[in-house]
Amino acid sequence: MQHIPKVDLNDFLSSDKNKKQQFVSQLGTAFEEIGFVALKGHFLSSELMEALYCEIRSFFKLPLEIKKQYEVEGGGGQIGYTSFGKEHAKNRTVGDLKEFWHFGQYENHVTKLYPENLLVNECPKFNEVGKHTYELLEKTAQHVLQAIAIHLKVEEHYFDAFIANGNSILRAIHYPPITQEPQSALRAAVHGDINLITLLMGAQGKGLQVITNQGKWIDAFAEPDELIINMGDMMSRLTNNRLKSTLHQVVNPPKEAWGNSRYSIPFFMHPIAEMPLNCLSNCVSEKHPKAYEDITAGAFLHQRLIELGLIKK
């Protein structure tokens, strides 16, 4: 496989049952074989995506002392700003060459399960545009998960209750210009995502790479109207590795391009903490014995945030 497979969400939302089933089949096959797809037909307009990129560029241009006012000490990077080099990949100690911002769950005003989103005073439209993008990506992800449920032969709305008011995160990442030879550091070292699925806005430029079953790294490109979607480790656990959480990385650019910033906006779809990640019974067999111990999504997330260096033991 040399390219990320492409699917169109309009087929799943169609009243044509054959189109819907074809989407489910294509999506399921892609997630079993490489764990990534490029998705058309999502709910984000090009104007909204460009508006968010404009806002995050404005935020990351702010002086460091202002950005650090939005960094929550001891918060595990769950909300607000996380400064450059603080996060590292699992099993590494060298920090990634990035800084980032987190928008969190907006349906939090009743349950108060998560920290409240921070308002950036210096960029008045930042939060409004982020909130709108968050809600539309959450809506897109819900339909993708419904298709995954059908593929797994569980009830179509299996995930709905688990993702309602879930701990999802919209991350705005800035990879600053590289000013000196990195000492074994990458913009984002090899890793798998923690969550159920990730929806990535803006993977048009080189940098993001995915490893195939044959152990070959390939570039993950998307058209301007596409989202890149990949499986996370929670989904791998739930499906007993039937759906792959594929390792990926963001490599450093050629030296002549070191002076350029890179921006990326992934949406990490997380369930509520109580969701059991116990392997689904129809994904366990004599040929594929259960690979993981039972655990909840909340406990698994906490364990991984320790491994990433974002919270202390």
pTM, 2 dp: 0.89
pLDDT tens profile 69-127: 999 887 777 889 998 867 655 655 556 678 999 999 988 766 778 889 999 999 989 99
| 106-110, 190-194, 196-200, 307-311 — most confident range | 196-200
Q: How far is CA 224 from the centre of its chain?
A: 18
* Farthest CA pair distance, the chain: 58
pLDDT of residue 208 exceeding 50, the answer is yes
> Any idea where the domains of the chain sit in the sequence?
6-307
User: What token pair was written down for 11?
Assistant: 């087929």
Helix, strand, or coil (residue 283): helix
User: Phi and psi for 137 in degrees, rounded to 5?
Assistant: -70, -35
pLDDT tens profile 3-29: 789 999 999 999 999 999 999 999 999
d(CA 189, CA 94): 9
Helix, strand, or coil (residue 282): helix
Q: Amino acid identity of 204?
A: Q
**Residue recorded with tokens 């989904």:** 235
Return the CATH number of 6-307, one of 3.90.79.10, 2.60.120.330, 3.40.50.80, 2.40.50.140: 2.60.120.330
Percent of the chain at pLDDT exceeding 90 = 61
Whether residue 77 contacts residue 310, with contact meaning beta carbons closer than 8 Å, is answered with: yes
Look over the chain and give the mean of its residue pLDDT values, rounded to a whole number.
Answer: 87
Distance between first and last Cα of the chain: 40
